[in-house]
Structure 1
Amino acid sequence: MSARHFGYWGKAQPSGTDSDGYHLLPYHCLDVAAVGIAFLKRSPALRALFARAVGLAADQPLYSWFAFILAMHDLGKFAESFQGQRADLVKSLRSREADPGKPYGVRHDALGWLIWDQHLKDRAIDQCWFGPDSEDVLDGIGWWVRASTGHHGLPPDSRGYWRHHFCPEDTSSVEDFLEELRTLFPLDGIKSAHAALGTEGFEARSRDLAWWFAGVTVLADWIGSNTLFFPYRAEAIPLREYWQGAQEQAETALEAVGVLPVPCRERSFAELFAEIARPSPLQAWAIDTPLTSAPQIHLLEDVTGAGKTEAAVVLAHRLMTSGCADGFFIALPTMATANAMYGRIAEVYSKLFEGNPSLVLAHGQRALVEAFADSVLPVGQDERDAAQQDDTATARCNAWLADHAKRALLAPAGVGTIDQVLLATLYSKHQSLRLLGLFRKVLVVDEVHACDAYMQRVLEAVLTFHAMAGGSVILLSATLPEHMKQGLFDAFARGRAADPLPRASSPDFPLVTSWHEGQENTVLRPIVAREAVCRDVAVRYVADEHEVLSAIRQALAQGKCVCWMRNTVSDVLAAHAHFENELDADHLIVFHARFVLQDRLDTEERILTHFGKSSTPAQRAGRLVIASQVAEQSLDADWDMVISDLAPIDRLIQRAGRLQRHPRRTDGARLTDPQAADQRGQPCLWVLGPAWSESPAANWYKQAFPKAAAVYPHHGHLWLTARALQQGRIAMPQDARALIEGVFGEDVELPPGLQANANQADGAYFSDLSVAQQNTIKRADGYIRGGIDWWSEAKTPTRLGEASMTVLLARWDGARVRPWAEHENPRHAWAYSSVKVAERLIAQRVPEADGAKEQLVKDAEALLPDKGKWSVVLALHNVDGEWMGEAEAPPADGRPGERRRWLYDKRRGLSMAESGTQP
């Protein structure tokens, strides 16, 4: 073959290996195109989205256009600067030396865009690639090329000049290659699309579609780079002949990777949830409510324990079986809540689909930690090469998938934290892949009220984009203020190009609020509360901690089980200090977020064993759990007595849901009839707060809870909550709406002493909204880099709370440094050994004084998925029976970061060694 474009390598084994193989660049381009076409063929809804938008009724013109534009994704690799990274291959393929005057300083994805934007567009006009109106169509085509060349997970950088990187021979080779592509993939379809839509219409449609096409390109590049399916080929054969084989390989690859839609089974509620003898009223609504085929959003508000999860699963299942969706993703506020949800969904998800679909948890559930190395996409051959500055597609794929949190959106069924969803519309690397992962899924957002102002605004952006692509949404909450509801529904309606929805409110609770495309107004449907979850909870508000301690001791002496929920880790450990010499480790459990994953999972399991639905009197008696907020929404646990530090009313309602949650006899034995009345007497929620005052001082809350004052910065909300508690009872569900609106309503008045704090909190609220607006992608801007700095995924702010650092605990075992957690697979061991810590406390590790030990830590970092770039390895030494290590805080005021010593043990978690308490 004499074609010039066969003189370029696209993928290569590391230089100096036993097998210095390479894959010709035109072949790799066709591999990726073949995967994209196969994915489109096997994804009917995605194909319909693109076909309808550009007005292509027949499939073949769309496939031809997709193949052409996907095959352009690596045009930048034709550049001399890229090829020169492997001078040996340049000499072998083109019998000349690489040009040292063209160093590789601009990445190949950007180079692909630069040669298109600064050279190939002119060729397209001169040669009428897109018909006589080629110049008019180029603005629209540009969005597709940006998405294709942006296959590294973000739009290509447009800075630079193409001639600094390409030599004339490269330019001719690119032009020859594109001429063959135009023969192989005729462009008649895109010409007719432009003619039908007009220049402005075609450009607008292309701009919108680029958000999802970018995700298709990343996925196709990853699969098309996997040598398990696309082995290296250096022998030159005609592109048409290679294309036939590439299509067959692409079909094989897609069968293996687990990202295709899976057929859904018809199942009744009884088949899905055999343990539920009679559906609750909310579940009955989900079973029987008429559904439309249009994109839709539902908000299910009901009390804790009313079966919202099962109702959401049934509703999602009905949407899937009716052809409105191909899968689901359940997003929860915290890792602990996602753990609990995974356990519930794992029991039913296999009944929802034909075959054996992937259920992936998006963070740290034990079963998924065990399996995350066996990722949705098979791990390909490692192609890392010191001679190449780019990370390869296989390396990018392996690193992304090594974090199983990210894989959840690619599987037909996923459960995870809401952060993985929010990243879909933040300026984050691989944002487009997440948006594609959500496509055609029912997005279920549980505990949606837990979103703060920033998260809510980002979630609104997600709902808008999800609605644009025809997705549906189910929101779940026990307590949602009216203004939050309105914002979420308006965002979804915007995605369907609908006008803002008229404000609709109702004093009813429980309540279902629904809207679908074509409706003028939301539909409000009151639901009758299930009798078993209607409760009158007494409230005992106290300001004296000694009274709380005395009550706990008395309850434990009576054989009761108790949970004290505190607002900070520091307060948890302070409470623990009161009891650590009174109770043994079996009867005193500390539960907060600063345990390594393995120990946290062990603690969750202990709590479910001792206080879960099936716990026995012997397992419960005389045991105390002191927990942070991780317990309020996470575990299906049930305590005889619950104490909570004062928190906003929505949090207290959640915490009260863990008080006498399951019907039991007076001795704690479970009553098997779920409709039976609890025999432990009226439940009483204890709340520890500042002394009640009708006219509080400005420091009313901070004086009582100095550390928690920053956790809940709007102290007016706390005072309004305390005022509501003075009535001494909470009746659910009848009090729910009044309680929430009485604290979070827009017209609530505050006492003068707290007004300054409220003004400051309101200012922060609107500032957070502004930051969210700045950080979220804009439909009108399109998939373009512009002047925006796109973050790495590890640093993208899904929440505006203080920045956190992933700390990986290790321990010295003689001359070896090992992950804290034991596991035969090192990658699993490190995952189990991780813990999140505020970055203000730990920013980087302190180098080991011993040079040999320092090298061992560096070697360990090199094996981590992020190479230690976004995490801190804290190596602990055994000092007098305590595990201790040093880490450095961030620099402050121009001074180096302070070195601090840290202790870790399985009972208390991670704490500072100097004081033994948390900052």
Structure 2
Amino acid sequence: MHLLEDVTGAGKTEAAMMLTHRLMSAGVADGFFIGLPTMATANAMYGRLSHFYARLFDGLASLVLANGQRELVEAFAASVLRSGPVEHDLAQRDETASARCTAWLADHNKRVLLAPAGVGTIDQALMAVLQGKHQSLRLLGLFRKVLIVDEVHACDAYMQGVLEHLLRAHASAGGSAILLSATLPERMKRALLAAFAEGCRQQPPTLPADMAYPLITSWNADRAQHVETYRVGTRADVSRTVKIRYVADLDEVVAGIRRALDGGRCVCWVRNTIADAMTAYALFAHELDAERLMLFHARFTLRDRLDMEARILDHFGAHSTSAQRRGRLVIATQVAEQSLDADWDWMISDLAPIDRLIQRAGRLQRHRRDALGNRLANPADPDGREQPCLWVLGPAWTDAPRATWFKDACPKSSKVYRHHGQLWLTARFIKEGQLHMPADARRLIEGVFTEDVDLPAGLQPVANHVIGEESSEASHAYRNAIKLDVGYVWRGEQWWSDAQTPTRLGEASASVVLCRWDGERLLPWATHAQPRHAWAYSTVRVPERLIAEVVPPSDPQRLRAWEEAKLTLPDQGKWSVLLPLEKTGRDWIGVAMGRASSGELVSRQWVYDARFGLFPLPLRVNERG
């Protein structure tokens, strides 16, 4: 097992592939699977590896992409088998044998780990150790593979628990693992290494007290109690100092953005929630045209999200020019944090834990450019722009915060980042005024995430509550995972389908498939020559508190069309919500029901727009109660 820690853009992926090649050359592995935190990062990685992965193999080998919506890569989608005939039996409550067989054959996610080379979301690997159908096939697919997990720090308590089970299972079968991170806390590193060692039937090794950064940590079962660490040098082009300014006034942020845009700079404002991103977008919608103002979040259909990613890379990617970048503003959520090789002249971020801010700062002047914003031909030349500066918007600073310090100022963000003590510690570091990377990385990460850090008395109860929740989530991971020491013995647990296997906790969400009325016909929102792909491109993920069900059409003919359209979905509508939209004036509007905390269904009108995404109109109580 190898753990590679280095800053964003330092080449961790390339180093991991070199290590993989050495393991394969030594005869201890036959292939690899790279697991990433999001579909966007998986898609980007697939594109990077597709050009050179074959050189790792002696002979032919296939590279397979696996994520919840693999259809969004056209070259890959072409290999998906055609679905069988739809039986149009609306009374049928169970799928036929032919439908089940076709779904299994067409679902590459179940078989992706069998390919010599695979790239996908980490969820596809985590399902190998969860109590779900075809779990053993996934585990078999990892046999004699190098399991590479990128951005491993992005795992929450539940995902880390499941990942520890996966590392045990993979190690017990003789597999190897490479974990990559720019911001890995010591306690998480210790737990993951212990899990892998347990899978090798060894006692957890003791990590040496090496606070160096960048760092490679390696462990081998043949030398069970010896952990090797290697200090790594830092390239000049990824070693830098970023100024950080803590701001508590929204008006000051808006004024700063206007000055930057007037000065010809491109700007990105990363917000913690979709609602806050839409609010920020509204502040500039009347000042900037659609060409200069972009909104980027997760509540777009896959088709529109891919188009937006392509547009952002065109304007702010590695090879963008001054003319493409000048005076443009992107308002984004966390989707811009890890998924895109883009860089901006100036960035603002809502207050988030220090590891997230380090990731976001990695998108600030990521590529060296001249004073106008054109890419420098020689990466060794100094950047011609002003020193990079990250503004962080948060609550007014205080040395003695109350329990509601963060919630009062940022009510929506307080639900995203629960540990407000870590946010206060992050804000305290920010007030130092600058970030030296990679020199400060270890100090900042351990200063926020260490287990015995001192917190103000007002925030300690909040921290204690979060620690209890994380402990509960880790217990959920143990309960949901297979028990290798027991074997396949049914003890009353539920074994889920792929769509229901819980690789992540958090609030329940639904796959909402958008469609539009064309007369009395229902068509997928996105257009594509193959209907299966059109439905995949029309999908957006939404919390069930917002959309859990759809109000069926009252017109009998439209009701029949809606029921028949559900049968054409990849899951035949069993685990997704088919939301019809109708053109009303300039807007496409549909009606769906969200599930309130009381369990009551609440009806809302929803609007979809390719510029803004899916958003609700004013709330009203469902007439069905």
Question: Would you say the 8 A contact 1:402–1:865 is kept in 2?
Answer: no
Query: 1:608 — aligned with what?
Result: 313
**Aligned mates of 1:898, 1:301 — CA distance in 2:** 46
| Offset at residue 697 of structure 1 (A) | 1.2
Query: 1:421 — aligned with what?
Result: 125
Q: Residue 504 of structure 1 is aligned with which of 184, 199, 208?
A: 208
1:678 aligned onto 2:361: no
Query: 2:43 — aligned with what?
Result: 339
Query: 1:714 — aligned with what?
Result: 419
| Offset at residue 364 of structure 1 (A) | 3.7
Question: Would you say the 8 A contact 2:401–2:456 is kept in 1?
Answer: yes
CA RMSD of aligned residues (A): 2.1
**Aligned mates of 1:549, 1:807 — CA distance in 2:** 34
TM-score (norm 1): 0.65
Query: 1:306 — aligned with what?
Result: 10
| Offset at residue 407 of structure 1 (A) | 4.0
**Aligned mates of 1:478, 1:825 — CA distance in 2:** 40
Q: Residue 396 of structure 1 is aligned with which of 100, 109, 112?
A: 100
1:212-236 deviation digits (Å, cap 9, x = unpaired): xxxxxxxxxxxxxxxxxxxxxxxxx
| Equivalences for residues 79-94 of structure 1 within 5 A | none
| Equivalences for residues 390-539 of structure 1 within 5 A | 395-519=99-223, 520-539=225-244
For the residue of structure 1 that corresponds to 2:458, the secondary structure is: helix
What letter matches 2:114 in structure 1? L
Question: Would you say the 8 A contact 1:327–1:442 is kept in 2?
Answer: yes
Residues 683, 915 of structure 1: alpha-carbon distance in 2 compared, 3 angstrom cutoff: farther
Question: Would you say the 8 A contact 1:380–1:394 is kept in 2?
Answer: no
1:259-308 deviation digits (Å, cap 9, x = unpaired): xxxxxxxxxxxxxxxxxxxxxxxxxxxxxxxxxxxxxx100000111011
Which structure carries more strand by proportion? Answer: 2
1:140-188 deviation digits (Å, cap 9, x = unpaired): xxxxxxxxxxxxxxxxxxxxxxxxxxxxxxxxxxxxxxxxxxxxxxxxx
1:889 aligned onto 2:594: yes
| Offset at residue 411 of structure 1 (A) | 2.0
Q: Which moved more, 1:726-735 or 1:413-422?
A: 413-422
Residues 595, 538 of structure 1: alpha-carbon distance in 2 compared, 3 angstrom cutoff: same
For the residue of structure 2 that corresponds to 1:317, the secondary structure is: helix
Question: Would you say the 8 A contact 1:632–1:655 is kept in 2?
Answer: yes
**Aligned mates of 2:186, 2:226 — CA distance in 1:** 15
| Offset at residue 815 of structure 1 (A) | 1.9
**Aligned mates of 1:787, 1:817 — CA distance in 2:** 41
**Aligned mates of 1:729, 1:400 — CA distance in 2:** 53
Query: 1:863 — aligned with what?
Result: 568
Residues 563, 915 of structure 1: alpha-carbon distance in 2 compared, 3 angstrom cutoff: farther
1:648-689 deviation digits (Å, cap 9, x = unpaired): 000000000000000000100101222222111211111001
1:492-521 deviation digits (Å, cap 9, x = unpaired): 111111111123331100000001111122
Query: 1:169 — aligned with what?
Result: none
**Aligned mates of 1:382, 1:505 — CA distance in 2:** 62
Query: 1:206 — aligned with what?
Result: none
Query: 1:840 — aligned with what?
Result: 545
**Aligned mates of 1:615, 1:891 — CA distance in 2:** 45
For the residue of structure 2 that corresponds to 1:690, the secondary structure is: coil
Which structure carries more helix by proportion? Answer: 1
Residues 382, 314 of structure 1: alpha-carbon distance in 2 compared, 3 angstrom cutoff: farther
**Aligned mates of 1:331, 1:727 — CA distance in 2:** 35
**Aligned mates of 1:786, 1:388 — CA distance in 2:** 30
1:783 aligned onto 2:470: no
**Aligned mates of 2:76, 2:46 — CA distance in 1:** 14
What letter matches 1:795 in structure 2? Q
**Aligned mates of 1:338, 1:357 — CA distance in 2:** 16
Residues 400, 673 of structure 1: alpha-carbon distance in 2 compared, 3 angstrom cutoff: farther
Structure 1 segments unaligned to the other structure (5+ residues): 1-296
| Offset at residue 795 of structure 1 (A) | 1.5
| Offset at residue 488 of structure 1 (A) | 0.5
What letter matches 2:246 in structure 1? Y
| Offset at residue 401 of structure 1 (A) | 4.6
Residues 901, 514 of structure 1: alpha-carbon distance in 2 compared, 3 angstrom cutoff: same
**Aligned mates of 2:428, 2:411 — CA distance in 1:** 20
Question: Would you say the 8 A contact 1:342–1:361 is kept in 2?
Answer: no
Q: Which moved more, 1:606-615 or 1:358-367?
A: 358-367
Query: 1:798 — aligned with what?
Result: 503
| Offset at residue 374 of structure 1 (A) | 2.1
| Equivalences for residues 651-670 of structure 1 within 5 A | 651-670=356-375
**Aligned mates of 2:271, 2:179 — CA distance in 1:** 27
**Aligned mates of 1:352, 1:715 — CA distance in 2:** 45
TM-score (norm 2): 0.95
**Aligned mates of 1:658, 1:667 — CA distance in 2:** 18
1:877 aligned onto 2:582: yes
Question: Would you say the 8 A contact 1:532–1:676 is kept in 2?
Answer: no
Structure 2 segments unaligned to the other structure (5+ residues): 621-625
| Offset at residue 443 of structure 1 (A) | 0.8
Whose radius of gyration is greater, 1 or 2?
Answer: 1
**Aligned mates of 2:220, 2:87 — CA distance in 1:** 49
Residues 580, 358 of structure 1: alpha-carbon distance in 2 compared, 3 angstrom cutoff: same
| Equivalences for residues 124-273 of structure 1 within 5 A | none
1:567-589 deviation digits (Å, cap 9, x = unpaired): 00001000000011111111111
For the residue of structure 1 that corresponds to 2:35, the secondary structure is: strand
1:351 aligned onto 2:55: yes
| Equivalences for residues 285-296 of structure 1 within 5 A | none
**Aligned mates of 2:222, 2:117 — CA distance in 1:** 28
| Equivalences for residues 518-917 of structure 1 within 5 A | 518-519=222-223, 520-890=225-595, 893=598, 895=600, 897-914=601-618
What letter matches 2:531 in structure 1? P
**Aligned mates of 2:302, 2:84 — CA distance in 1:** 29
| Offset at residue 363 of structure 1 (A) | 3.7
Q: Residue 77 of structure 2 is aligned with which of 368, 372, 383?
A: 372
